[in-house]
Amino acid sequence: MEAYIVDWLNLLVRWLHFITGVAWIGASFYFIWLDNHLLEPRDPDDTRVGVGGEVWSVHGGGFYHAQKYKGAPPFIPETLHWFKWEAYSTWLSGMFLLVLVYWYGAQVYLIDPAVAELSPLQAIGLAAGIIVAGWVVYDLLCKSPLGNNERLFAGVLFLLVGVLAWGVCELFSGRGAYIHFGAVLGTIMVANVFFVIIPGQKRMVAAAERGETPNVEDGLRAKQRSVHNTYFTLPVLFVMVSNHYAMTYGHEYNWAILIAISLAGALIRIYFVSRHSGKASPWPLIVAGVLLAGVAALIAPRASAASGEAVAFDDVRAVVMHRCTTCHAAQPTHPAFPAAPGGVVLETEEQIVAEALRIHQQTVVTRVMPIGNLTNITEEEREIIDRWYQGMEAVQ
């Protein structure tokens, strides 16, 4: 019953996380687009009252006219919309999921003895410390003189993000490493909103209500953090779906794959931000495409070196029944799984043969199954699966 309840919590909170994430990212993308499409006001009266730019748009059967003031408007309206709860809700639901799946289930999803011998307490402590340290280091960099040099800051930040990717992959399982990499970036994004963007906006509103000119530094700092957030977005979205693709997190060089795909995501976002301004160079998109194609080519499965006598199906069935059906059964016996993961059941000959490609991919090519090697599959047993699969391929 406990695993069943955890599954329902996982479902509901994951759904909430997805909904709030769409709302936050959608609003973020829209305002980046809006900022980059502003034109000089056509009405001189608007310029006189401080309007710095405007944009007209049409959507849903109506016309919209958005204006941005250089400083504060002549008056603050009673209803002023803030964009913050989308970010907070996304982070809170995401952290709940992280705790529920990767910390509560640390021995299954976070720890891989083949990577590092960690106790659940050690793994969770390291994970939490890395998330906090990520924000602290980033924030100090932004506040340092380095934060005033956009290009140099970007280079240093990329280097540190690369170190982060390598570090988490040296500590945790592939899945756990990728999700914690995303958690660090996501925490930085929401902390930017909570500690910098919203407080700055509150100070600007308070100054305007007192009839004073808002401090331009608040606007500049908020803009800087907002731009950083938009470049983090696509790498974080990749991490959110990466657990479906063991070819990435299960690879020997999973850290390099994570860096390359994250860089590709940032470059894609750079292209679209530039495109909003009407001066987009195709090079960021081209480089991103080359990076993704290069990763795909480098991690493509190679011909197996398995050799020896053909493997009888009974030998493979024995391995599968001993190492896989603890979880992949109609009624799993492992307490962490109330139902077979992915709906994959491996109890009959027909089921095993039907899933031959997936079994080979997960146990031999990416080696991510059994997850965390909970059932202690041996190298000899992986070789049995490999030789059996290659024999099937040769016959076909």
Whether residue 90 lies inside any domain: the answer is yes
User: Do 147 and 274 fall into the same domain?
Assistant: yes
Is residue 288 a contact partner of residue 272, using CB atoms and an 8 Å limit? no
3-state secondary structure of 335: coil
CA distance 258 to 253: 9
User: Do 29 and 45 fall into the same domain?
Assistant: no
Looking at residue 395, its pLDDT comes to 63
Looking at residue 62, its pLDDT comes to 95
More reliable by pLDDT, 309 or 373: 373
CA distance 342 to 184: 27
Mean pLDDT for all residues in the chain: 92
Looking at residue 3, its pLDDT comes to 77
Chain centre to alpha carbon of residue 280: 26
CA distance 249 to 255: 8
- Element housing 59 (H / E): strand 51-59
User: Do 114 and 184 fall into the same domain?
Assistant: yes
CA distance 37 to 277: 6
**Angle separating helix axes 216-242 and 254-276, nearest 10 degrees:** 130
User: Do 329 and 209 fall into the same domain?
Assistant: no
Domain boundary among 270, 298, 326: 298
Tokens matching residue 386: 């490999």
User: What is the chain's Cα-based Rg?
Assistant: 25
Whether residue 303 lies inside any domain: the answer is no
CA distance 180 to 380: 32
3-state secondary structure of 42: coil
Amino acid code (one letter) for 207? A
Tens-place pLDDT, residues 81-102: 999 999 999 999 999 999 999 9
Across 2-16, 68-82, 130-144, 310-324, the highest mean pLDDT is recorded for 130-144
Give the model's confidence band at 304: pLDDT under 50 very low, under 70 low, under 90 confident, else very high. low
User: Do 275 and 211 fall into the same domain?
Assistant: yes
Whether residue 76 lies inside any domain: the answer is no
Give the model's confidence band at 372: pLDDT under 50 very low, under 70 low, under 90 confident, else very high. confident
User: Do 168 and 290 fall into the same domain?
Assistant: yes
Tens-place pLDDT, residues 10-26: 999 999 999 999 999 99
Tokens matching residue 136: 């602290």
User: Do 95 and 198 fall into the same domain?
Assistant: yes
User: Do 117 and 239 fall into the same domain?
Assistant: yes
3-state secondary structure of 378: coil
Q: Look at residue 306 and tell me whether its pLDDT is greater than 60.
A: no
Domain boundary among 265, 298, 331: 298
Tokens matching residue 94: 């995401």
Is residue 366 a contact partner of residue 251, using CB atoms and an 8 Å limit? yes
Q: Look at residue 354 and tell me whether its pLDDT is greater than 80.
A: yes
The residue length of the chain stands at 396
Tokens matching residue 340: 């077979």
Domain boundary among 298, 328, 358: 298
User: Do 114 and 11 fall into the same domain?
Assistant: yes
User: Do 352 and 245 fall into the same domain?
Assistant: no
Looking at residue 23, its pLDDT comes to 96
Whether residue 305 lies inside any domain: the answer is no
User: Do 241 and 388 fall into the same domain?
Assistant: no
SS3 sequence of 72-85: CCCCCCCCCCCCCH
Whether residue 259 lies inside any domain: the answer is yes
Tens-place pLDDT, residues 20-62: 999 999 999 999 999 989 999 999 999 999 999 999 999 999 9
Whether residue 307 lies inside any domain: the answer is no
With vertex at residue 246, the alpha carbon angle to CA 241 and CA 251, rounded to the nearest 5 degrees, is 125
Q: Which domain holds residue 131?
A: 2-34+81-298
Tens-place pLDDT, residues 226-265: 999 999 999 999 999 999 999 999 999 999 999 999 999 9
3-state secondary structure of 63: strand
Whether residue 304 lies inside any domain: the answer is no
Structural domain count, the chain: 3
Looking at residue 305, its pLDDT comes to 57
CA distance 60 to 151: 40
User: Do 246 and 335 fall into the same domain?
Assistant: no
**Angle separating helix axes 120-143 and 216-242, nearest 10 degrees:** 150
CA distance 268 to 363: 33
**Residue range 364-376: average pLDDT?**
86
Chain centre to alpha carbon of residue 225: 18
Whether residue 126 lies inside any domain: the answer is yes
Tokens matching residue 43: 């009405």
More reliable by pLDDT, 64 or 216: 64
Looking at residue 335, its pLDDT comes to 81
In the chain, pLDDT over 70 holds for what percent of residues? 97
Chain centre to alpha carbon of residue 37: 28
With vertex at residue 167, the alpha carbon angle to CA 165 and CA 168, rounded to the nearest 5 degrees, is 70
Closest CA to 176 of 371, 338, 337, 335: 371
Tens-place pLDDT, residues 135-175: 999 999 999 999 999 999 999 999 999 999 999 999 999 99
Closest CA to 272 of 9, 19, 37, 18: 37
DSSP alpha helix (H) spans, the chain = 2-36, 44-48, 85-97, 120-143, 150-171, 174-191, 198-209, 216-242, 246-249, 254-276, 283-298, 313-323, 349-354, 356-360, 379-395
Looking at residue 366, its pLDDT comes to 87
